[in-house]
Amino acid sequence: MKTKLQTLYHSLKEQGLTPEQDRKIRYELDLLELDGDHRYIPEPAVRDIYSYRDMEMLHDASPPKLMALTTVQSLDYLLEKDKQREKDGFPRKIRVGKMVKPSLTGDDKVVIVPTTVEEKLLHDRVRFNEEGEGEGEGQGAEEGGSGEGEEGEVIGEQPVRPEQGGQGGAGQGEGGGHDVESNAYDLGRILTEQFELPNLKDKGKKKSLTKYTYDLTDKNRGFGQILDKKSTLRRIIQTNIALGRVQARGTIDSKKLLIAPRDRVYRILSKEKDYESQAVVFFVRDYSGSMGGKPTELVVNQHVLIYSWLIYQYKNQVETRFVLHDTEAKEVKNFQTYYNSTVAGGTQVASAYSLVNKIVEDESLERDNNIYVFHGTDGDDWDSKGDKALPQLEKMLTYASRVGITIAENGYGISGQTEVERYIRKSGLLEEKKNLLRLDVIAPDTNETRLIKGIRELIS
C-alpha cells in the first residue's frame, strides 16, 4: 500500500503541486510511516491532587465510576426548562452531549448524556490549541513524580496520535456519571422537537416515502372481483335470521334462503402501504491521516445526530450504509467500525463518491428509496482540482435526495481554503443544485450547538 501511495504521490508531483499541497501530502505519508511496529514505554497515568477522594481511596468500592440511571429529572423536563431559558433571554445551558454507540450488534443504540458547565471566572493556563497535536495539553503541563531517574531521562511515552477508539471515540462516555439511556429514535425526536430541526417537508413529493402494492385484501359488498363465499354465506344467514326464516334448532333448507344483493361479499383490488425501508443513507467519511483527532470526532458526532434525526423522520425506516475512504474507499458493515476505524493513508475523495455510485447502481437503490449521502472530510484532497471527484458528485446528484458535505477543518491550512471546499464552490454545483447539495464548513473548536446548526444547513 505504501509503495502504491508513493507512486501516486510521485505521479501527482510530476503533474505539479504547490508547495502547500506537497507539504500536506507528505505529512500524511509521514504519518503512515509511523503506523505499525512501534514499541512504547507505557505512558504514566497522571492524576491531579484534587482528583483523589477518600471514598475511592479508602473504601474498596469506587462509587464515582457508577453509571447513574437515577437522574431525578427526565431529559425532556431538563430540555423543556432549557427552552424556557431561551424564552427568558438567557442562552441554553444543557448540552445533549456525548453520543456513544456502545454495542456492535444493537445498531441504533445511542446514549444521551445531558451535560452542562457552571461558568465562573477561573484561571486558565496559557494555551494555544494546535490541532491534532495533543489536546492543547502540551508542554508546560508539569507534573510531580517520584522514584528512580536522572534529569533528562525519559520515563514514559504517549503516541501523538492515539489509536482511535480508545480516545475521543466511544471510550469517553464510559464511567461518566449521569447517563440517560435512549435510542437514536428518541434522540431524533429531541433534535426535532427541542432543537427545532425541521421536519422533512417534501415527504413523498419527489419520491413517495411509502410505496404502494396492490392486493386483493379489502372486502366490498355488492360488487368486486372475487366472491368471498364464506363471508357471503355468513351474511345470508344473518339476513335470514333477521327475517325469521331460520329458527334455532330447526333444519335449514338452503333453497329457501333469501339472498339480498348486498349480501354478496367480494374481494376487491386495493392499495396497500408497504413499509419497506424508505430511505437509504450513505455516511461517507474520510479517514486519512490528516483526519486524526478533532475532525474525526466532529464529523462522526454530526453523523450520529443526522442519523438519529433521519431515524425519527422516517419512523425507523432507514437503511444506513457506511463508507470509509482514504485513497481508496471501502464499505464497512456497522457504525461501530465506521466510528472507530483508525486513520490511514492519503486522500482521494473521488474514490468514495464512485463507490457510492456503484453501490446505488448495482443494487438499483434509487428506484424505491430516497437516497441521502453525507460526507465528512477535512477538506484535503490529493486530487486538488476535483477532476475526478466532481463528475462523480454530479452523477450522485442525479439520484440523491440530498448530498451534505461537512468539512471539518483540521487547522493546518487557511480557513475556507481547503481543496474540497474550493473545487466544489468553483464548480457552481452549490447554486445550480441548491436543493440537492449542501456544504457546511466547521472550525476545529466547534461545539455541539454549532453541529446541530450545521445539520439544519445540511438538511433543510
Nearest to 245 by CA among 231, 232, 259: 259
Q: Which amino acid type is present at position 252?
A: I
Indicate which single residue of 11, 18, 37, 118 sits in contact with another protein (rule: CB under 8 A).
Answer: 118
Q: Are the beta carbons of 377 and 422 closer than 8 angstroms?
A: no
The helix or strand, by DSSP H or E, that contains position 226, with its residue range, turns out to be strand 226-227
Q: Interaction with another protein in 7-46: which residues (CB under 8 A)?
A: 23, 27, 31, 34, 38, 40, 43-46
Nearest to 398 by CA among 427, 420, 429: 429
Near another protein by CB under 8 A: residue from 3, 57, 247, 253: 57
Quick note: the x/- pattern for another protein over 382-421, rule CB under 8 A, is -----------------------------xx---------
Whole-number minimum distance, CB 301 to another protein, in Å? Answer: 15
CA-wise closest residue to 13 among 21, 341, 244 = 21
Rounded Cα distance, 222 and 372, in Å = 46
Largest CA distance in the chain: 114
CB-wise, 69 or 242, nearer to another protein? 69
Instruction: Sort 366 into a burial class: Cβ within 10 Å, 0-12 / 13-18 / 19+.
Output: middle
3-state secondary structure of 404: strand
Binding mask 176-205 for another protein (x = CB under 8 A): xxxx--------------------------
The one segment of 124-132, 239-247, 277-285, 355-363 that binds another protein by CB under 8 A: 124-132
Please give the grid coordinates belonging to residue 351. 474514490
What part of residues 352-371 is at the interface with another protein (CB under 8 A)? none
Considering beta carbons, is residue 24 or 402 the nearer one to another protein?
24
As a whole number of angstroms, the distance between CA 364 and CA 351 comes to 20
Q: Which of residues 71-90 bind another protein (CB under 8 A)?
A: 71-73, 78, 81, 84, 88-90
Contact residue for another protein among 86, 107, 137, 432 (CB under 8 A): 137
- Helices in 46-92 by DSSP H: which ranges? 54-58, 75-87
CB of 41 to another protein, least distance (A): 8
Q: Which of residues 134 and 224 has its CB atom nearest to another protein in the complex?
A: 134
Question: What's the CA gap between 100 and 297, in Å, rounded?
Answer: 12
Supply 254's cell numbers. 338452503
C-beta atoms surrounding 222 within 10 Å: 11
Of residues 62 and 238, the one with the C-beta less far from another protein? 62
Cell of 287: 479517514
Part in contact with another protein (CB under 8 A); list of ranges 61-69, 308-316, 383-391, 433-441 = 61-69
The SS3 assignment for 358 reads helix
CB of 68 to another protein, least distance (A): 5
Q: Are 67 and 83 in contact (CB under 8 A)?
A: no
The C-alpha cell that represents 372 in the structure block: 441521502
**What's the length of the chain?**
460
Least gap, CB of 126 to another protein (angstroms): 4
Q: Which is nearer to another protein, 55 or 260 (CB)?
A: 55
| Among positions 68, 104, 227, 259, the unique one binding another protein when judged by CB under 8 A | 68
Q: How far is the CB of 449 from another protein (least distance, A)?
A: 13
**Contact between residue 402 and residue 438 where contact means Cβ atoms under 8 Å apart:** yes
- The residue from 6, 7, 103, 158 that contacts another protein (CB under 8 A) is 158
Position among 11, 15, 16, 123 found at the interface with another protein (CB under 8 A):
123
Under DSSP, is residue 280 helix (H, G, I), strand (E, B) or coil?
strand
* Beta carbons of 266 and 287 less than 8 angstroms apart: no
Which range touches another protein (CB under 8 A), out of 8-16, 115-123, 183-191, 357-365? Answer: 115-123
Contact status: 159 vs another protein (CB under 8 A): yes
Q: With binding defined as CB under 8 A, does residue 141 bind another protein? A: yes
Least Å distance, CB 61 to another protein, is 6
Out of 14, 36, 128, 242, name the contact with another protein by CB under 8 A.
128
